[in-house]
């Protein structure tokens, strides 16, 4: 079987969970013996850097990339409100990409074209014109849900009105593309249900973020036992808002009860307001050279999301490395953790603080939670176990 994987960002360098999810899926496809071709849109936020790719990756996966300037343009954004185009998506459309894609599809025949996220969906028309490949959409995050929650969280004003318009446009766009695809792969059951409520009744499956557990070797003990940490891309608004909420509502409660704990904030593109933060017991690290090494060195992971959708890749990685995790219902979305067993799910600032303090005070409880988290990943998010389901799905699509 021959598959073209069309992505809205290069998988390397690994700057966020989206890059990890794309590369993880590529690895799964290759492990199934699929002849894989990867075509990526490079952007200012996610540029193509050849040196960041593992040796042999580009040749093995027939990788190619085209740059698109997706920088936000206020004039274009305003015009899109009038034309009712979806600005978030239209920024990724480029005549250069279309021409390169046209050239590739004119030379190569594919059984399946896999669209990674709705951001590459504008190219489906070109795909349909040039080949008979089945088109499969892989949904990473429910963009509609993210912007819907952001709009609801805003006070009255122009910003709220603008976000509501964007939300409506995204929802309409999601409905439109459902008629253009032959299959849907959702990263969790909630996303699949969302598309089914919108009217999708075609071939579908859930395929969560999965990892090769052999590549995640936990340390016996963290270097810093009295540590709480957050790791995530800080150019994603839900992460920023979640961290700000934690600093404002949760961390003061934690520090009043335990002065020995230190909070470490790590992630690329840390906002200036956080980089310059002077808060009791807070160390703003910024971007780290190796995410896995950073996770291993710390103790309790926090994921204080108040908005967002999809599946938090960093939680899966932390669980695989036997780290106790405290998160919110939104942070745990799509991950089958049991609160109090493989992680803590907190519904309020007080609950969140209590969970962090409980883990900090009871090392044995934290260790047991880490063990349960690892077991969960091995049972349900193991790449080897999930790949067979994916193979059967592709066979059904192309039958």
Query: CA torsion sign, 243 to 244 to 248 to 252?
Result: positive
Q: In whole angstroms, what is the distance from residue 311 CA to residue 289 CA? A: 23
Query: How many C-beta neighbours within 10 Å does residue 98 have?
Result: 15
Please give the share of the chain, as a percent, with pLDDT higher than 70: 88
Radius of gyration for the chain, computed over Cα atoms and rounded to the nearest angstrom: 21
Residues 277-333: pLDDT tens digits? 989 999 999 999 999 999 999 999 999 998 866 678 899 999 999 999 999 999 998
Least confident of 141-145, 225-229, 283-287, 333-337: 141-145
Query: How many C-beta neighbours within 10 Å does residue 261 have?
Result: 20
Least confident of 12-21, 96-105, 109-118, 378-387: 12-21
How does residue 144 score in pLDDT terms, banded at 50, 70 and 90? very low
Q: In whole angstroms, what is the distance from residue 88 CA to residue 71 CA? A: 10
Listed ranges 11-20, 28-37, 81-90, 303-312; the one with the highest mean pLDDT: 28-37
What pLDDT score does 177 carry?
87
CA dist 230 → 5, 261, 264 (Å) = 31, 14, 6
Least confident of 170-174, 258-262, 311-315, 321-325: 170-174
Does 142 score more than 70 pLDDT? no
Q: In whole angstroms, what is the distance from residue 85 CA to residue 89 CA? A: 8
Please give the mean pLDDT across all residues of the chain. Answer: 88
Does 379 score more than 50 pLDDT? yes
Report the relative pairing of strands 134-139 and 112-116 from DSSP bridges. Answer: parallel
CA dist 155 → 45, 152, 163, 256 (Å) = 29, 8, 11, 31
Q: What is the mean pLDDT of residues 55-73?
A: 91
SS3 269: coil
Q: Are 236 and 146 in contact (CB under 8 A)?
A: no
SS3 343: strand
Q: Which residue has the tokens 């190619």?
A: 64
Angle at 376 between CA 216 and CA 346, to 5 degrees: 105
Q: Which residue has the tokens 């067979």?
A: 388
CA dist 397 → 133, 136, 198, 386 (Å) = 10, 9, 21, 17
Give me the phi and psi of 69, to 5 degrees please.
-80, 100
Q: Residue 346: exposed, middle, or buried by beta-carbon count in 10 A (0-12, 13-18, 19+)?
A: buried
3-state secondary structure string across 11-74: CCCCCCHHHHHHHHHHHHHHHCCCEEEEEEEECCCCCCCHHHCCCCHHHHCCCEEEECCCCCCH
Q: Are 116 and 141 in contact (CB under 8 A)?
A: no
Q: Which residue has the tokens 């990526």?
A: 40
Q: What is the mean pLDDT of residues 325-350?
A: 94
What's the DSSP call for residue 84? T
Question: Which residues are 283's β-sheet partners?
Answer: 264
What pLDDT score does 391 carry?
93
CA 318 to chain centre: 14
Q: Tell me the domains of the chain and their CATH numbers.
A: 2-210+383-398 (3.40.50.2000), 214-380 (3.40.50.2000)
Does 86 score more than 50 pLDDT? yes
CA dist 74 → 48, 67, 85, 151 (Å) = 25, 21, 14, 19
Q: In whole angstroms, what is the distance from residue 149 CA to residue 16 CA? A: 21
């Amino acid at each position: 079987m021959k598959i073209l994987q069309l992505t809205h960002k290069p998988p390397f360098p690994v700057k966020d969970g989206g890059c990890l999810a794309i590369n993880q899926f590529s690895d799964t496809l290759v492990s199934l013996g699929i002849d894989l071709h990867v075509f990526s849109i490079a952007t200012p936020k996610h540029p193509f850097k050849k040196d960041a790719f593992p040796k042999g990756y580009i040749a093995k996966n027939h990788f190619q990339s085209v740059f698109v300037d997706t920088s936000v343009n206020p004039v274009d954004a305003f015009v899109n409100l009038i034309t009712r185009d979806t600005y978030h998506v239209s920024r990724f459309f480029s005549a250069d990409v279309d021409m390169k894609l046209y050239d590739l599809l004119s030379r190569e025949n594919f059984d399946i074209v896999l669209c990674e996220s709705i951001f590459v969906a504008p190219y489906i028309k070109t795909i349909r014109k040039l080949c008979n490949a089945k088109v499969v959409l892989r949904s990473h995050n429910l963009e509609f849900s993210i912007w819907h929650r952001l709009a609801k969280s805003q006070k009255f004003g122009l910003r709220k009105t603008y976000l509501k318009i964007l939300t409506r446009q995204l929802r309409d766009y999601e409905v439109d593309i459902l008629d253009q695809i032959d299959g849907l792969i959702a990263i969790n059951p909630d996303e699949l249900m969302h598309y089914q409520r919108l009217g999708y009744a075609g071939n579908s499956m859930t395929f969560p973020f999965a990892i090769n557990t052999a590549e995640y070797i936990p340390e016996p003990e963290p270097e810093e036992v009295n540590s709480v940490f957050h790791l995530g891309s800080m150019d994603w608004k839900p992460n920023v808002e979640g961290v700000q909420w934690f600093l404002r509502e949760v961390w003061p409660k934690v520090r009043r009860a335990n002065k020995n704990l230190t909070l470490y904030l790590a992630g690329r593109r840390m906002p200036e307001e956080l980089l310059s933060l002077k808060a009791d017991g807070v160390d703003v690290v910024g971007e780290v050279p190796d995410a896995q090494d950073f996770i291993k060195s710390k103790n309790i992971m926090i994921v204080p999301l108040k908005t967002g959708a999809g599946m938090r890749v960093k939680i899966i990685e932390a669980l695989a490395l036997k780290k106790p995790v405290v998160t919110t219902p939104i942070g745990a979305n799509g991950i089958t953790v049991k609160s109090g067993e493989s992680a803590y799910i907190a519904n309020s600032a007080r609950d969140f603080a209590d969970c962090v303090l409980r883990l900090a005070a009871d090392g044995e409880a934290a260790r047991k939670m880490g063990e349960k988290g690892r077991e969960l990943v091995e049972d349900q998010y193991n790449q080897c176990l999930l790949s067979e389901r994916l193979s059967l799905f592709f066979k059904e699509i192309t039958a």
